[in-house]
Amino acid sequence: TNQLPSGYRMRPLVSSDYDKGVLDVLKVLTVVGNISRSQFVDQFNYWKSKKDMYHTLVVLNEQDRVVGCGTVLVESKLIHECGKVGHIEDIAVAKDQQGKKLGLRIINALTEIGRAQGCYKIILDCSEHNVKFYEKCGFTRGGAEMVLKF
Protein backbone atom coordinates (compact mmCIF):
# COMPACT_ATOMS: atom_id res chain seq x y z
CA THR A 1 0.00 0.00 0.00
CA ASN A 2 1.05 3.60 -0.44
CA GLN A 3 -0.87 5.24 2.38
CA LEU A 4 -0.06 8.74 3.58
CA PRO A 5 -0.73 10.03 7.12
CA SER A 6 -4.34 11.06 7.63
CA GLY A 7 -5.10 14.45 6.07
CA TYR A 8 -2.10 14.30 3.71
CA ARG A 9 -2.39 13.85 -0.05
CA MET A 10 -0.13 13.43 -3.05
CA ARG A 11 -0.71 14.80 -6.53
CA PRO A 12 1.20 16.12 -9.56
CA LEU A 13 2.76 19.58 -9.23
CA VAL A 14 0.60 22.45 -10.49
CA SER A 15 1.78 25.98 -11.24
CA SER A 16 -0.09 27.45 -8.25
CA ASP A 17 2.10 25.35 -5.93
CA TYR A 18 4.44 28.33 -6.07
CA ASP A 19 2.21 29.73 -3.30
CA LYS A 20 2.14 26.50 -1.30
CA GLY A 21 5.75 26.35 -0.26
CA VAL A 22 7.28 23.94 -2.78
CA LEU A 23 10.43 26.08 -3.10
CA ASP A 24 10.89 26.17 0.67
CA VAL A 25 10.70 22.38 0.76
CA LEU A 26 13.41 22.15 -1.91
CA LYS A 27 15.72 24.24 0.30
CA VAL A 28 16.30 21.16 2.49
CA LEU A 29 18.03 19.68 -0.56
CA THR A 30 20.25 22.48 -1.85
CA VAL A 31 20.45 26.12 -2.92
CA VAL A 32 17.21 27.22 -4.56
CA GLY A 33 17.83 30.95 -4.85
CA ASN A 34 15.22 33.53 -5.74
CA ILE A 35 12.70 32.26 -8.27
CA SER A 36 9.93 34.62 -9.33
CA ARG A 37 6.42 33.41 -9.97
CA SER A 38 6.84 33.92 -13.72
CA GLN A 39 10.12 31.97 -13.76
CA PHE A 40 8.37 29.17 -11.89
CA VAL A 41 5.43 29.15 -14.29
CA ASP A 42 7.77 29.23 -17.31
CA GLN A 43 9.68 26.22 -16.00
CA PHE A 44 6.42 24.41 -15.22
CA ASN A 45 5.17 25.07 -18.75
CA TYR A 46 8.48 23.91 -20.25
CA TRP A 47 8.14 20.61 -18.36
CA LYS A 48 4.55 20.27 -19.57
CA SER A 49 5.63 20.87 -23.17
CA LYS A 50 7.96 17.83 -22.94
CA LYS A 51 5.14 15.35 -23.07
CA ASP A 52 5.44 12.42 -20.64
CA MET A 53 9.02 13.39 -19.76
CA TYR A 54 8.85 15.33 -16.48
CA HIS A 55 6.69 14.05 -13.65
CA THR A 56 6.86 15.98 -10.39
CA LEU A 57 4.76 14.94 -7.41
CA VAL A 58 4.06 16.94 -4.27
CA VAL A 59 2.72 15.89 -0.87
CA LEU A 60 0.46 18.37 0.92
CA ASN A 61 -0.41 18.37 4.60
CA GLU A 62 -3.77 19.08 6.30
CA GLN A 63 -3.14 22.82 5.93
CA ASP A 64 -2.67 22.35 2.17
CA ARG A 65 1.04 23.25 2.35
CA VAL A 66 3.63 21.38 0.31
CA VAL A 67 5.71 19.24 2.68
CA GLY A 68 7.42 16.94 0.19
CA CYS A 69 8.23 16.65 -3.49
CA GLY A 70 10.10 14.60 -6.06
CA THR A 71 10.57 14.19 -9.79
CA VAL A 72 11.05 11.34 -12.22
CA LEU A 73 12.50 12.29 -15.59
CA VAL A 74 11.74 9.72 -18.30
CA GLU A 75 14.59 9.57 -20.80
CA SER A 76 14.02 7.94 -24.21
CA LYS A 77 17.06 6.09 -25.55
CA LEU A 78 18.24 4.10 -28.58
CA ILE A 79 19.68 1.21 -26.58
CA HIS A 80 17.40 -1.49 -25.23
CA GLU A 81 15.30 -1.21 -28.41
CA CYS A 82 14.55 2.47 -27.96
CA GLY A 83 13.97 1.87 -24.28
CA LYS A 84 13.36 4.37 -21.51
CA VAL A 85 15.21 5.04 -18.28
CA GLY A 86 13.65 6.87 -15.33
CA HIS A 87 15.83 9.31 -13.44
CA ILE A 88 14.66 10.16 -9.94
CA GLU A 89 15.66 13.69 -9.01
CA ASP A 90 15.21 16.28 -6.28
CA ILE A 91 13.50 14.35 -3.53
CA ALA A 92 12.82 16.58 -0.55
CA VAL A 93 10.74 16.35 2.62
CA ALA A 94 10.41 19.36 4.94
CA LYS A 95 12.64 18.99 7.97
CA ASP A 96 9.79 18.83 10.50
CA GLN A 97 7.98 16.23 8.36
CA GLN A 98 10.82 13.76 7.93
CA GLY A 99 10.48 10.25 9.32
CA LYS A 100 6.77 9.90 8.47
CA LYS A 101 7.42 7.74 5.40
CA LEU A 102 6.62 10.65 3.09
CA GLY A 103 9.91 10.19 1.25
CA LEU A 104 9.21 6.48 0.81
CA ARG A 105 5.69 7.21 -0.50
CA ILE A 106 7.04 9.74 -2.99
CA ILE A 107 9.67 7.29 -4.27
CA ASN A 108 7.09 4.51 -4.59
CA ALA A 109 4.74 6.76 -6.54
CA LEU A 110 7.53 7.99 -8.84
CA THR A 111 8.74 4.46 -9.54
CA GLU A 112 5.17 3.47 -10.43
CA ILE A 113 5.04 6.37 -12.90
CA GLY A 114 8.33 5.17 -14.39
CA ARG A 115 7.02 1.64 -14.69
CA ALA A 116 3.79 2.85 -16.30
CA GLN A 117 5.83 4.89 -18.79
CA GLY A 118 7.67 1.72 -19.79
CA CYS A 119 11.06 2.33 -18.16
CA TYR A 120 13.29 -0.75 -18.00
CA LYS A 121 15.10 0.72 -14.97
CA ILE A 122 15.07 3.68 -12.64
CA ILE A 123 18.27 5.26 -11.41
CA LEU A 124 19.30 8.08 -9.09
CA ASP A 125 22.33 9.70 -7.52
CA CYS A 126 22.50 10.34 -3.81
CA SER A 127 24.95 11.00 -1.02
CA GLU A 128 26.32 8.15 1.08
CA HIS A 129 24.13 9.47 3.89
CA ASN A 130 20.94 8.61 1.96
CA VAL A 131 21.94 5.12 0.79
CA LYS A 132 20.00 3.41 3.61
CA PHE A 133 16.86 5.39 2.78
CA TYR A 134 17.00 4.29 -0.86
CA GLU A 135 17.73 0.71 0.13
CA LYS A 136 14.53 0.82 2.18
CA CYS A 137 12.79 1.97 -1.00
CA GLY A 138 14.08 -1.16 -2.79
CA PHE A 139 17.07 0.32 -4.64
CA THR A 140 20.51 -1.27 -4.68
CA ARG A 141 23.93 0.25 -5.25
CA GLY A 142 24.79 0.74 -8.95
CA GLY A 143 27.87 2.26 -10.54
CA ALA A 144 29.93 5.22 -9.38
CA GLU A 145 28.62 8.76 -9.84
CA MET A 146 30.91 11.14 -11.73
CA VAL A 147 30.51 14.88 -11.88
CA LEU A 148 31.99 17.83 -13.78
CA LYS A 149 31.04 21.07 -12.08
CA PHE A 150 30.85 24.49 -13.72
Interface with ligand ACO by CB under 6 A: which residues?
A: 28-29, 88-93, 98-104, 124-126, 129-130, 132-133, 136
Cα R_g (the chain), whole angstroms? 16
Q: Choose between 44 and 86: whose C-beta lies nearer to ligand ACO.
A: 86
Q: How far is the CB of 38 from ligand ACO (least distance, A)?
A: 26
Which residue has its beta carbon closest to ligand ACO?
Answer: 103
Q: Choose between 37 and 115: whose C-beta lies nearer to ligand ACO.
A: 115
- Distance separating alpha carbons of residues 85 and 52, to the nearest angstrom: 12
Q: Choose between 51 and 129: whose C-beta lies nearer to ligand ACO.
A: 129
- Distance separating alpha carbons of residues 118 and 64, to the nearest angstrom: 32
Question: Is residue 87 within 8 Å of 73, Cβ to Cβ?
Answer: yes
